[in-house]
Amino acid sequence: MSLFRAGRPTRWQSLATSLITALLLFLAMPGYFGWWPLLFVALVPLLSAALYLPPLRSGCMGLLAGFIYNLLTLHWLVVVLGKYGGLPPWLSVPAMVLLALYMGIYFALFCLLVSMFGGRSWHKERSVVTLVWIAPVLWVGLDYLRGILFTGFPWLDLGYGLYSQPILIQAADLGGHHLISFGLVLANGLIVSIIDRQRSKVHWNIRTERRLLFAACCFLIFIFGYSMVRYRVMPSLYRPALQAEISVVQGNILQDEKWVPEKKEKTVAIYERLSRRALAGKTTELLVWPETALPFYPQNDPLSRRVADLVRKENVYLLTGAPTYQVDQAGEKPKIEYFNSALLVDPGGVIVSTYAKQHLVPFGEYVPLRKYLPFLAPLVVNVGDFTAGRSSSPLPLGNDLKLGILICFESIFPEIARNEVAAGANILVNLTNDAWYGRTSAPYQSMAMTVFRAVETKRSLVRAANTGISGFIDPTGNIIEKTDIFVPQAITAQLPVFEKQTVFVRSGYMFGAACLAFIPVLLLFRRRHL
């Protein structure tokens, strides 16, 4: 039998397929529901339809599915742009729609290419194996492209949906989260092949097809079997390692109050109070405050002395986010550059090292083509117009700890964490301010993606978020402890300091790029065989 009785889906069936796939993906991904088992079947309707639809119709079906899914997933953008970015609804809502449409283009390309390479619209009978193996290559290749094109926006790739199941995602230390996405799409393709094999007119004696389907099963067993074994073995490797006691403070400073000059002293007082509570009776080595926890420039603000007094009295290192500036005297006129920074303050109250955010948020921390888009300037009024940092070097803390810093949405870019670990980082720290998102699904989605940075690099990860979610993640992706959103809180944990580099750090980070590079090869191969 076929998933579609008449073979090729009708227009209404194509529309239903798009809606079903979009809803299944939305229900499966972290945020409101997180029903992760749906990830193993969510793409089955889309792949089944693409198997029979011609490329153009398949692409339109994919565009609709991607648009609806991303509209549901990225609705928080209206809160970011409207409530906190200062844009009116007639600009913020179309901006969200345009972003959802842009993200849907990748779904469209996926379905179009699946139909071209593995579809039957131009051939009476064709092996389903082509679809099974090519679909995950196309999906991962396009995900990788989305992560680098136009500065990149790899928000909530498919594999991230399994963040709550660390026993299934340890293979990320081989090929990153892209390898987990590859496995999920492959699993969906195998289900399509099982359905397809139930048809009456099937050549069961095609040995190559059966072997390739068996190979796909073996590949899935390897990915998830490796993950299960690795999950059980890893604790015995990192438990004997040095344990670092770290405290995180979540100040819960509302975004519309954060940059009010009259309230910056109150903000510092909140962090002082929560920090003393966190450190009482503890042997904490490092105290961590979130992104821009200090709503002023530490170089010239008297409140910096209070921060220094705190760390001297408590005899602890402090890592905190703060805006900083630098005067460049190289040109004819002095030029001031502003940075979104992380500052490491030693127990003597001295700033001993800094990190400047490398991957800035377009239209949030800087405005591309600002001369030509002056109406978007309100987006950066509250946080300034920042310059990107240039260094991935970890911040040394004493002789044992080397901190790899991820500020805000840098945590969704695996190459940044990978570069820092390759440079020697043995603990990752994510400082963020998710107050922008309000009470939407975005803080949960952001946390889900951060989990994979720990698993890929096998490094403990500390997350300090202004309004949550803050927490601690061990090298296998277990969330040891976390906070609720929009509550002032301080938590402490002991984290293993693991030193060994994973395959992902050494070379596996190229897995997504390899899938993307394979797509032109497939196009060339198809052209020669037409």
Q: What is the rounded distance in angstroms from the CA atom of residue 308 to the CA atom of residue 172? A: 40
Q: What is the rounded distance in angstroms from the CA atom of residue 145 to the CA atom of residue 152? A: 8
Look at residue 484 and give its three-state secondary structure.
coil
Specify whether the CB–CB gap between 452 and 460 falls below 8 A.
Answer: no
Residues 6+ apart with CB under 8 A from 94: none
Look at residue 518 and give its three-state secondary structure.
helix
Task: Please indicate whether residue 262 is annotated as part of the active site.
Answer: no
The catalytic residue among 408, 420, 456, 482 is 408
Specify whether the CB–CB gap between 294 and 307 falls below 8 A.
Answer: yes
Q: What is the rounded distance in angstroms from the CA atom of residue 223 to the CA atom of residue 379? A: 43
Bridge partner list, 463:
430, 471
Q: What is the rounded distance in angstroms from the CA atom of residue 304 to the CA atom of residue 325? A: 15
The catalytic residue among 209, 285, 291, 456 is 291
To 5 degrees, how large is the angle CA 380–CA 386–CA 392? 140
Q: Which residues of 158-184 are buried (b: 16+ CB within 10 A; e: fewer)?
A: bbbbbbeebbbbbbbbbbbbbbbbbbb
Q: How far apart are the first and last CA of the chain?
A: 29
Using CA atoms, how far residue 179 sits from 46, 50, 110, 216, 238, in Å, is 21, 23, 17, 14, 24
Residues 6+ apart with CB under 8 A from 185: 43, 135, 136, 139, 140, 158
Task: Please indicate whether residue 408 is annotated as part of the active site.
Answer: yes
The catalytic residue among 258, 357, 458, 482 is 357
Distance of CA 291 to the CA centre of its chain: 17
Task: Please indicate whether residue 83 is annotated as part of the active site.
Answer: no
Closest CA to 453 of 474, 435, 432, 483: 474
Cis amide linkage into residue 412, ω under 30° from 0: no
Q: What is the rounded distance in angstroms from the CA atom of residue 172 to the CA atom of residue 116? A: 30
Question: Which H or E run contains 463?
Answer: strand 460-465
Specify whether the CB–CB gap between 318 and 311 falls below 8 A.
Answer: yes
Instruction: Give the count of beta carbons closer than 10 Å to the beta carbon of residue 245.
Output: 13
Q: What is the rounded distance in angstroms from the CA atom of residue 42 to the CA atom of residue 170? A: 22
Q: What is the rounded distance in angstroms from the CA atom of residue 9 to the CA atom of residue 201? A: 19
To 5 degrees, how large is the angle CA 397–CA 399–CA 401? 45
Q: What is the rounded distance in angstroms from the CA atom of residue 322 to the CA atom of residue 298? A: 7
Instruction: Give the count of beta carbons closer than 10 Å to the beta carbon of residue 439.
Output: 11
Q: Position of tokens 């309230």?
A: 263
Backbone region of residue 150 per phi and psi (left: phi > 0; alpha: psi in -120 to 50; beta: other values): left
Active centre residues (catalytic)? 291, 357, 408
